Amino acid sequence: MREADGNGDPLGVDPEAMRAYGYRTVDMLVQRLCDRSIPPLRRASPQEMRDRLSGPPPAAGQDFDAILARLDRDVLPFMSRGDHPGFFAFIPFCGTWPGALGDFIASACNIYAGSWMESAGPTQLELEVLAWFKQWIGYPAGAGGVLVDGGSAANLTALACARETLVGDMSADLVGYVSDQAHSSLARSARVLGFRPEQLRVLPTDARFRIDPRILAAAMDADVRAGRRPLFVAATAGTTNTGAVDPLTPLSQLCRERGVWLHVDAAYGGFAVLTERGRELLRGLDAADSVTLDPHKWLYQPYECGALLVRDDSVLRTAFQMTPDYLQDCCAGDETNLSDRGLQLTRSARALKVWVSLQYFGVDAFTAAVDRSLDLAERVRERVDAADALELTAPASLGVICFRRRFPGAANEDEVDAHNAALVVALEQSGLGLVSSTIVNGRYTLRVCVLNHTTGADDVDRLMDFLQSAEPTTLAAPAAAGTVALAGACQRDHPIPATPLRRRSNGGGG
Ligand SMILES: Cc1ncc(COP(=O)(O)O)c(C=O)c1O
């Protein structure tokens, strides 16, 4: 039971108990995190979860060990395990222990990182971390940024900066441009900011799934002729679907000529700039007006941690700064109030985990981890190229490899789709690994994303052996034609559909 602190505080905990609970929590976590037998995903039905967890909160406190045991038994087993070396699905997420401890420190100290007055240390730490990111992508000294909860929030913040900086009020003649491979958070951000579906042009991509600057220029010309005002282009450096990188330099030239804001969503791919080949691939990123980076993807930070960087530091304040009377005490001289740079007033100290993990491992270790992922992704591509049974469905890029198994005996393409979907399910059921699927050029495709620092060559080889040679007879029953896209793990990160965006009757996102 909870120990009173002797001060009449109904929610106080005795210092010795604080230590003991902390040690026991760490013991439980280390046991779990080091248990190699836990599969990359354990699903459960809503009924099973209700059976385990439904009920009112207890009126009286419970024993802490019993609480931990319940979490360990009824909650933590039923989730994906992003740090599993065989986790190749969606955008893998693999933190580090020092990063998690950084988050724990931020949480235990309950840091309010909104104003300098209340948080000079953590604010400076965030400015330092942002300065590293700025330098890594080649931004100039006058650039700025803010940490947010993820890539979606960063994209929303970027589009708000674009509108407030270039025009101010929302207007029906403003137009934004994305590709049919852009992440759905961009369409959602545009919607939240008041862009109607017809104010967001979804451009078809080229054979390598990239924006064609000529198509973009023609779309802008047509809009200008029709009396509309092109406002922003949201390009992607590492599309969620295939890892494609839009041609950043021509796009920035085009945008600069026309006074249009260029945002680059580099949420998952951006930290490849730590490596030489990544820098080469992402050349031109520094010319964007704003860049989304997600440290909780390829910088191995625990959820949640996103970042928006802007080429001109002042645009964040232009878009977000407000000083109500009740915050007048927080404003002094050249102090930075991070709450003036985004939507959140109350904000946690996300920089702590980034800082702690980078201090502990050093930048070189992160560079080596990203480099290793790129090597392993290359290994996957080579395995696909070398196997008659497999074919690439998109050029491999930035850790993402899209391919499918041929199944020569299949009656038609729908059956090939269904067998590939069954392969995804069978892999999950084997406990060996997890891949997700997507649609490329209208066909079901296997999608392997190699990002985890825990993944090694053996893990890749085991995965490819399975996908290449698992016998159809050992596969789960093929899904009915037309439903294969739903087989396997549910898709989380949908690209924007090529058709014009319309609000669905159920209010679902684009
Ligand atoms: C390219 C890209 N942009 C944005 C996002 C959204 O990021 P978050 O899930 O952190 O909101 C993702 C997520 O995978 C992504 O891949």
pLDDT of residue 7: 74
Q: Which residues pair with 178 in a beta bridge?
A: 202
Residue 491 lies in a domain: no
pLDDT of residue 471: 78
Q: How many helices (H) and strands (E) does the chain have?
A: 16, 11
Q: Which of 324, 344, 363 finishes a domain?
A: 363
Q: Which two tokens stand for residue 444?
A: 């079901």
Specify the DSSP element, H or E, that contains 448: strand 443-449
pLDDT of residue 5: 54
- List, edge to edge, every strand of the sheet that includes 390-392: 390-392, 400-405, 443-449, 436-440
Residue 506 lies in a domain: no
Residue nearest to atom 13 of ligand 1 (CA): 493
Q: Which residues pair with 263 in a beta bridge?
A: 234, 290
What is the rounded distance in angstroms from the CA atom of residue 47 to the CA atom of residue 54?
A: 10
175 lies in the same domain as 231: yes
User: Nearest Cα to 41, choosing from 81, 89, 71?
Assistant: 81
Instruction: Name, in order, each residue with C-beta under 8 angstroms of 509's C-beta and a sequence gap of 6 or more.
Output: 184, 187, 188, 191, 494
Residue range 343-372: mean pLDDT, rounded: 98
pLDDT, tens digit, 9 for 90 and up, residues 299-357: 999 999 999 999 999 999 999 999 999 999 998 889 999 999 999 999 999 999 999 99
pLDDT for 154 beyond 50: yes
User: Which percentage of the chain shows pLDDT scores above 90?
Assistant: 90
pLDDT of residue 484: 37
Q: Which pLDDT band, with edges at 50, 70 and 90, does 256 fall under?
A: very high
pLDDT, tens digit, 9 for 90 and up, residues 54-74: 999 999 999 999 999 999 999
pLDDT for 485 beyond 50: no
408 lies in the same domain as 331: no
pLDDT for 508 beyond 50: no
Specify the DSSP element, H or E, that contains 440: strand 436-440
Q: Which two tokens stand for residue 490?
A: 């549910």
Query: Considering only 3-12, 257-266, 434-443, which range has the smallest mean pLDDT?
Result: 3-12
The average confidence (pLDDT) of the chain is: 92
Instruction: Please give the span between the terminal C-alpha atoms of the chain, in angstroms, as a whole number.
Output: 49
Q: Which pLDDT band, with edges at 50, 70 and 90, does 4 fall under?
A: low
User: Cβ < 6 Å from ligand 1: which residues?
Assistant: 91, 150-152, 183, 185, 236, 238, 240, 265, 267-268, 294, 306, 493
pLDDT for 507 beyond 50: no
Phi/psi at 280 (nearest 5 deg)? -65, -45
222 lies in the same domain as 340: yes
195 lies in the same domain as 334: yes
pLDDT of residue 492: 41
44 lies in the same domain as 144: no
DSSP-derived 3-state class of residue 508: coil
33 lies in the same domain as 129: no
Q: Which pLDDT band, with edges at 50, 70 and 90, does 181 fall under?
A: very high
Q: Is the dihedral of CA 140, 146, 150, 156 positive or negative?
A: negative
Q: Which two tokens stand for residue 510?
A: 């684009």
pLDDT of residue 136: 98
**What's the number of domains the chain is made of?**
3
Annotate 303-326 with DSSP letters as a single string: SS-EEEEESSTHHHHHHH----GG
Instruction: Name, in order, each residue with C-beta under 8 angstroms of 361's C-beta and a sequence gap of 6 or more.
Output: 96, 98
249 Cα: distance to centroid of ligand 1 (angstroms): 22
pLDDT of residue 333: 86
pLDDT of residue 448: 98
Q: What's the DSSP call for residue 74?
A: I
For residues 225 and 507, the model is more confident at 225
Residue 5 lies in a domain: no
Q: Which of 63, 79, 95 finishes a domain?
A: 79
DSSP-derived 3-state class of residue 483: coil
What is the rounded distance in angstroms from the CA atom of residue 246 to the CA atom of residue 234?
A: 10
Annotate 322-362 with DSSP letters as a single string: ---GGGGGG--TT---GGGGSS-SS---THHHHHHHHHHH-
Ligand 1 atom nearest 155 alpha carbon: 4
Q: Domain containing 383 — which CATH number? A: 3.90.1150.170
290 lies in the same domain as 330: yes
Residue 171 lies in a domain: yes
Ligand 1 atom nearest 238 alpha carbon: 1
For residues 359 and 501, the model is more confident at 359
pLDDT of residue 94: 96
Residue nearest to atom 16 of ligand 1 (CA): 240
Cβ atoms within 10 Å, residue 423: 27
Q: Which of 363, 398, 426 finishes a domain?
A: 363
Cβ atoms within 10 Å, residue 368: 15
pLDDT, tens digit, 9 for 90 and up, residues 276-291: 999 999 999 999 999 9
Q: How would you classify the pairing of strands 200-203 and 174-179?
A: parallel
pLDDT of residue 474: 56
312 lies in the same domain as 329: yes
Q: How would you classify the pairing of strands 229-236 and 261-265?
A: parallel
Q: Which pLDDT band, with edges at 50, 70 and 90, does 6 fall under?
A: low
67 lies in the same domain as 122: no
449 Cα: distance to centroid of ligand 1 (angstroms): 14
Residue range 429-453: mean pLDDT, rounded: 97
What is the rounded distance in angstroms from the CA atom of residue 482 to the CA atom of residue 414?
A: 8
pLDDT for 220 beyond 80: yes
CA atoms within 13 A on the CB side of 133: 32
Using the CB atoms, write b or e for 444-471: b if 16+ within 10 Å. bbbbbbbbbbebeeebbeebbebbbebe
Residue range 221-244: mean pLDDT, rounded: 98
What is the rounded distance in angstroms from the CA atom of residue 351 to the CA atom of residue 489?
A: 32
Q: Which two tokens stand for residue 308?
A: 């928006």
233 lies in the same domain as 160: yes
Cβ contact 431:80 at 8 Å: no
pLDDT of residue 491: 37
What is the rounded distance in angstroms from the CA atom of residue 183 to the CA atom of residue 263?
A: 13
pTM for the whole thing?
Answer: 0.93
7 Cα: distance to centroid of ligand 1 (angstroms): 46
Q: Which pLDDT band, with edges at 50, 70 and 90, does 501 fall under?
A: very low
Residue range 9-24: mean pLDDT, rounded: 97
Residue 496 lies in a domain: no
Residue range 65-86: mean pLDDT, rounded: 97
Our CA angle for 46, 51, 55, nearest 5°, is 110
275 lies in the same domain as 370: no
For residues 480 and 72, the model is more confident at 72
pLDDT for 246 beyond 50: yes
Phi/psi at 178 (nearest 5 deg)? -135, 170
Q: Which domain holds residue 459?
A: 366-486
Ligand 1 atom nearest 269 alpha carbon: 1
Residue range 457-486: mean pLDDT, rounded: 70
Q: Domain containing 142 — which CATH number? A: 3.40.640.10
Residue nearest to atom 7 of ligand 1 (CA): 151
Residue range 207-228: mean pLDDT, rounded: 98
321 lies in the same domain as 181: yes
Residue range 345-374: mean pLDDT, rounded: 98
pLDDT for 475 beyond 60: no
451 Cα: distance to centroid of ligand 1 (angstroms): 14
CA 12 to chain centroid: 37
Residue 3 lies in a domain: no
Q: Which two tokens stand for residue 193?
A: 């900011």
Residue 87 lies in a domain: no
Residue 276, preceding peptide bond in cis (omega within 30° of 0): no
Q: Which pLDDT band, with edges at 50, 70 and 90, does 75 fall under?
A: very high
Ligand 1 atom nearest 152 alpha carbon: 11
pLDDT, tens digit, 9 for 90 and up, residues 183-212: 999 999 999 999 999 999 999 999 999 999
Give the 3-state DSSP-derived string for 171-193, with helices as H, strands as E and coil as C: CCCEEEEEECCCEHHHHHHHHHC
Residue 229 lies in a domain: yes
